[in-house]
Amino acid sequence: MAATNLVRMALVVQKYGGTSVGDADRIRAVAEHVARTRAGGDDVVVVVSAMGKFTDDLIRLADDVSPHRPPREMDMLLTAGERISMALVSMALGAVGVESASFTGSQAGIITDTDHTKAKILEIRPDRIREALDAGLVPVVAGFQGVSTERDITTLGRGGSDVTAVALAAALKADVCEIYTDVTGVYSADPRVAPKARRLAKVSFDEMMEMAATGGRVLMLRSVEFARRHHVPLHVRSSFTWEPGTWIVEEDPTMEEAIVSAVTDDTSEAKVTVGGVPDRPGVAAQLFRHLSDAKVNVDMIVQNTSLHGTTDISFTVAKTDLDAAMAACEVVRAAIGAATLTCDDGIGRVSLVGAGMKSSPGVTAMMFETLSAHGINIEMISTSSIRISCVVRADRVVEAVRALHTAFGLDAA
């Protein structure tokens, strides 16, 4: 036991995403890095994603055998991806002389609700992980999965291995949660969209949450929320170069805040419009209650000024929730006597995020001017104190991101 040591070793949770365990070479590289970390004196818990695009491949297979995606069976299927990686990483660790054992989400004590395909963690009982650490092993945990209160296997939503890693780091009181991925940190825009994007040394939790919520998929939104609530320091870094990356930190009141830190893009949503809605109290409540009962997350909402006693209500939802949203809206449309129900999956969203926006008027005007100079039409707008989002046509998103990145002085020299 480490009790006799005066200096406490750090406990590091290292999460490796799909590309980081994409093939045998990558898995061996991961094993070597874990061995190096251990040789430096730290304890390590590894959390893995499925290899490469394996989760997408499994979803395609499901679609090939059935027109439906029964949620319980989808979870059974998709969790197989992480099971493969955890066993392979554990074997690769053994091959470089690091003793380890792999654990499914259920074995790691990740208890979730019963909401298949997007389950929420209710509780973590990491007894087996603690025992493995105490025995000197490196536990390798399958990300993205848990077991429900009904004893069924669940998944935490796409990108959910980030949540597993942060949740375990919080439960084990780890010193840091390292998210290893295929970029060297969090950038001022998705480097695949804006080639002039710069790596940010530090990002506040507030900014990272806005980025994750508006398309900066480098971290899953729920993992950032979880990390902030439980004060887990997050370090996003590369499993290709191993160089230090970006720290997600509590806001430092003495820090000079950038007005705009990042531009994000998102083409994963669609717009739903209910037209000719009678303009009277309770109608919007009825609509959004139905959507919430159908477990549809609604994002931006716009209601037009009423004309002759009727109005239009538009909102955005994840494309994956579009069918459920349309079904729920049709019930309400008929009940309230609204004239039309339409949807549009050709939209995209560009957003500016920056903690300094709170105290800087003029950002909105400059954003609109920049889009207008490029002839890009704005269809919807939403803001928070540190973010402005515009819905535009999906095929103009890349141009919009690059133009805004340049206009707000974010381009790398």
Measuring CA to CA, which residue among 173, 117, 174, 123 is closest to residue 145? 117
Q: How many residues bind Mg ion (CB under 5 A)?
A: 2
**Beta-strand runs (E) in 193-268:** 202-204, 234-238, 246-249, 262-266
Angle 398-383-199 from CA coordinates, rounded to 5°:
50
Asked if 144 touches ligand ASP (CB under 6 A), the answer is yes
Q: How many residues bind ligand ASP (CB under 6 A)?
A: 13
In whole angstroms, give the CA distance from residue 168 to residue 48: 12
* Residues from 86 through 125 that contact ligand ADP (CB under 6 A): none
The least distance separating ligand ADP from the CB of residue 412, rounded to whole angstroms, comes to 13
CB 8 within 8 A of CB 92: no
Asked if 53 touches ligand ADP (CB under 6 A), the answer is no
In the complex, residue closest to ligand ADP by CB: 17
In whole angstroms, give the CA distance from residue 214 to residue 190: 12
Which residue type sits at 372? Answer: S
- Say which entry of ligand ASP, Mg ion, ligand ADP, none residue 55 contacts (CB below 5 to 8 A, set by partner kind): ligand ASP
Among 159, 185, 215, 354, binds Mg ion (CB under 5 A): 159
CB 172 within 8 A of CB 130: yes
b/e per residue 321-357 (b: at least 16 CB within 10 A): bbeebbebbeebbeebebeebebbeebbbbbbbbbbb
Asked if 49 touches ligand ADP (CB under 6 A), the answer is yes
* Residues from 145 through 164 that contact ligand ADP (CB under 6 A): 159
* Residues from 12 through 31 that contact ligand ASP (CB under 6 A): 17-18
- Say which entry of Mg ion, ligand ASP, ligand ADP, none residue 138 contacts (CB below 5 to 8 A, set by partner kind): none
Stretch that binds ligand ADP, among 13-21, 83-91, 300-308, 348-356 (CB under 6 A): 13-21
In whole angstroms, give the CA distance from residue 179 to residue 13: 8
Asked if 226 touches ligand ADP (CB under 6 A), the answer is no
Q: What is the DSSP string of 247-290?
A: EEE---TTSPPPS--EEEEE-SEEEEEEEEEE-STTHHHHHHHH
The least distance separating ligand ADP from the CB of residue 256, rounded to whole angstroms, comes to 21
> What is the maximum span of the chain, computed from C-alpha positions, in angstroms?
79
Asked if 217 touches ligand ADP (CB under 6 A), the answer is yes
Asked if 203 touches ligand ADP (CB under 6 A), the answer is no
Stretch that binds Mg ion, among 15-23, 96-104, 105-113, 237-245 (CB under 5 A): 15-23
Stretch that binds Mg ion, among 10-18, 150-158, 168-176, 227-235 (CB under 5 A): 10-18
Distance of CA 406 to the CA centre of its chain: 26
- DSSP state, residue 104: -
Asked if 218 touches ligand ADP (CB under 6 A), the answer is yes
Which residue type sits at 51? Answer: M
* Residues from 20 through 39 that contact ligand ADP (CB under 6 A): 20
In whole angstroms, give the CA distance from residue 222 to residue 227: 8
Among 8, 36, 125, 192, binds ligand ADP (CB under 6 A): 192
Give the x/- contact pattern for ligand ASP in 53-82, rule: CB under 6 A. --x-------------------------x-
- Choose between 78 and 186: whose C-beta lies nearer to ligand ADP: 186
Is 105 exposed, middle or buried (CB count within 10 Å of its CB: 0-12, 13-18, 19+)? buried
Is 398 exposed, middle or buried (CB count within 10 Å of its CB: 0-12, 13-18, 19+)? middle
Stretch that binds ligand ASP, among 152-160, 241-249, 254-262, 282-290 (CB under 6 A): 152-160
Task: List interacting residues with Mg ion (CB under 5 A).
Answer: 17, 159
Task: List interacting residues with ligand ASP (CB under 6 A).
Answer: 17-18, 49-50, 55, 81, 143-144, 158-162
Task: List interacting residues with ligand ADP (CB under 6 A).
Answer: 17-20, 49, 159, 181-183, 186-187, 189-192, 216-218, 262
